[in-house]
Amino acid sequence: MSAVTATVTLEHFRTAYAESKPYYELLNGEAFQKALPTKLHSILQGVLFLVLKQLGFRSMTELTLAISETWEPTPDVCGLLGPDDGEPYPTKPIPVVIEVLSPRDPFTRVIQKCRKYSAWGIPDILVFDPIGREAWHWDTTADDLVRFHQSYSFKSKPAELHLADVFERFDAEL
């Protein structure tokens, strides 16, 4: 995963990196290339997409959030509620963002992204590790990720995600 160290404008970022794969994200005015997703990452991303959909969210993968001029992250999975606003990118906080770890993801960058999601007012911020089979949610009081072991109760709507269900579905796809 590489970073372009000079501060870039949103316009330059979109022009220079929009068609690049793996995707780039604009984080605090710097362009960072996302880690190449592994097979395990991709499987878990698909499982989480389906779980959110079954819980009543409008699920999307790799959706760029255009909420800030200096931050334009692309979470692995997003959950939205309500009707589509017709815009290509969300410009306001959305209910759910999920990051799936890849072996080359710096955990400090994941925490940095979660902290920004929280500052924007995104209520449900989750991180999953397909190798360690662990999951965390963002705790605004602790200002940090907190591991959950059995289930997670969403703040944005009355719904619960069961970790055993997620990893049973994950195992079925291996």
Q: Is there a domain that residue 13 lies in?
A: no
Q: What is the pLDDT of residue 78?
A: 98
**HSE-up (13 A, CA, CB side) for residue 62:** 12
Q: What is the pLDDT of residue 6?
A: 64
Q: Is there a domain that residue 22 lies in?
A: no
Q: Is there a domain that residue 31 lies in?
A: no
Q: Which residues of the chain have pLDDT under 50?
A: 1, 4
Q: What is the pLDDT of residue 3?
A: 52
Question: Which structural domain, as residue segments, surrounds residue 67?
Answer: 36-173
Q: Is there a domain that residue 163 lies in?
A: yes
CB 128 within 8 A of CB 148: no
Q: Is there a domain that residue 101 lies in?
A: yes
Q: What is the pLDDT of residue 30?
A: 87
Q: Is there a domain that residue 12 lies in?
A: no
- Write the secondary structure of the chain as one string of H (helix), E (strand) and C (coil): CCEECCCCCHHHHHHHHCCCCCCEEEECCEEEECCCCCHHHHHHHHHHHHHHHHCCCEEEECCCCCCCCCCECCCCEEEECCCCCCCCCCCCCCCEEEEECCCCCCHHHHHHHHHHHHHHCCCEEEEEECCCCEEEEEECCCCEEEEECCEEECCCCCCEEEHHHHHHHHHHHC
Q: Is there a domain that residue 152 lies in?
A: yes
Find the CATH number of the domain harbouring 61: 3.90.1570.10
Task: Give me the number of domains the chain comprises.
Answer: 1
Span 71-112, pLDDT tens digits: 999 999 999 999 999 999 999 999 999 999 998 888 999 999
Q: What is the pLDDT of residue 5?
A: 55
Q: What is the pLDDT of residue 14?
A: 77
Q: Is there a domain that residue 60 lies in?
A: yes
